Amino acid sequence: MKQIEQHACFGGSQEVWQHASSTLGCDMDFAVYLPPQAKQGPCPVLYWLSGLTCNEQNFITKAGAQAYAAQHGIIVVAPDTSPRGEGVANDEAYDLGQGAGFYLNATREPWAAHYRMYDYIVQELPALVDAHFPTTTARGISGHSMGGHGALVIALRNPGMFRSVSAFSPIVAPSQVPWGEKAFSAYLGDDREAWLEWDATALVAKATERLPLLVDQGDADNFLETQLKPHLLRDACETAGHPLTLRMQRGYDHSYYFIASFIGEHIAHHAKAMQG
């Protein structure tokens, strides 16, 4: 663990740390915001997963989450979106390879050697965070776009690990849209049945925990009809009887302006669940 950034922020500390990841086989950076309450004792942790092309910087510099995290006394951890480095497989396209890990465990080469973001988020990163920062056992998870997909899938696959989950503009059915079809074909192969283990609309049907889902989606999002299709999650949740709050926000697009507009409500949602 090596600290590479530290900034005083709303009475707390916005930091970026680097470590050698045994799961991913490369050095990884992750951001952590420590609210002022962390100086007095342990705080709950909200994990934020970013979308395609992002790293740990996008959320901490654009979302404005620190003020709300300080208000509620929540640690916010924002990892990178994929393994990185010269020895890590990559692709020229923005939606595959570095910056596009899709929060799954790849099974096909050349991706399988490094692309295990699911294991990293579920196992290695929480263990590292709990060992080095003043955390309680209460966790929440959220994310945007590809990261929204990751947040929903990870929460649904790990009952009891999180007390809350939310997402902005998530890819709810990656096995049915171009982004997911491209990534899943590369990372997992052609067996579409195997893809369903990484698809939130399929996972809600067999979920053993009814963790309420909070999803915000802008109705002016240019990816709405082709890549996101939130109605598929709504239909799956209605069929399964899984609690979902899907809020279509009029006039909002896919950008961080959208996230910044509602991140305070999401952090309040997580705070209520984690501190209640």
Cα-based torsion angle of the residue sequence 53, 57, 63, 64 in order, rounded to the nearest 10 degrees: 180
Identify the CA nearest to 63 among candidates 117, 5, 142, 120: 142
164-168 vs 135-143, strand pairing mode: parallel
Prediction pTM value: 0.97
The domain tally of the chain equals 1
pLDDT of residue 206: 94
Residue 171 burial (CB < 10 Å; 0-12/13-18/19+)? Answer: buried
Q: Among the residues of 95-173, which ranges form H helices?
A: 117-119, 125-132, 146-157
Provide the CATH number for the domain around residue 37: 3.40.50.1820
Task: Enumerate helices (H) and strands (E) in the chain, giving the number of each.
Answer: 10, 9
Instruction: Kindly list the distances between the CA atom of residue 5 and the CA atoms of 13, 15, 105, 179, in Å, as whole numbers in the listed order.
Output: 10, 5, 29, 33
pLDDT at residue number 276:
77
73 phi and psi angles, rounded to 5 deg: 70, 45
160 exposure class (CB count in 10 Å sphere: 0-12, 13-18, 19+): exposed
SS3 175: helix
- Residue 74: burial class (beta carbons within 10 Å; 0-12, 13-18, 19+): buried
H or E segment and range at residue 60: helix 56-62
Per DSSP, 212 falls in state P
Q: What is the pLDDT along the chain (276 residues), one digit of tens a residue?
A: 999 999 999 999 999 999 999 999 999 999 999 999 999 999 999 999 999 999 999 999 999 999 999 999 999 999 999 999 999 999 999 999 999 999 999 999 999 999 999 999 999 999 999 999 999 999 999 999 999 999 999 999 999 999 999 999 999 999 999 999 999 999 999 999 999 999 999 999 999 999 999 999 999 999 999 999 999 999 999 999 999 999 999 999 999 999 999 999 999 999 999 997
Q: What is the pLDDT of residues 93-103, one digit of tens each?
A: 999 999 999 99
The residue segments making up the domain with residue 220 are: 2-274
Whole-number pLDDT of residue 74: 98
Provide the token pair at 216: 């915000």
Q: How far apart are CA 175 and CA 74, in angstroms?
A: 33
Which residues are known catalytic residues? 145, 221, 254
CB atoms within 10 A of CB 127: 10
Alpha carbon distances (Å) from 202 to 155, 172, 229: 13, 9, 14
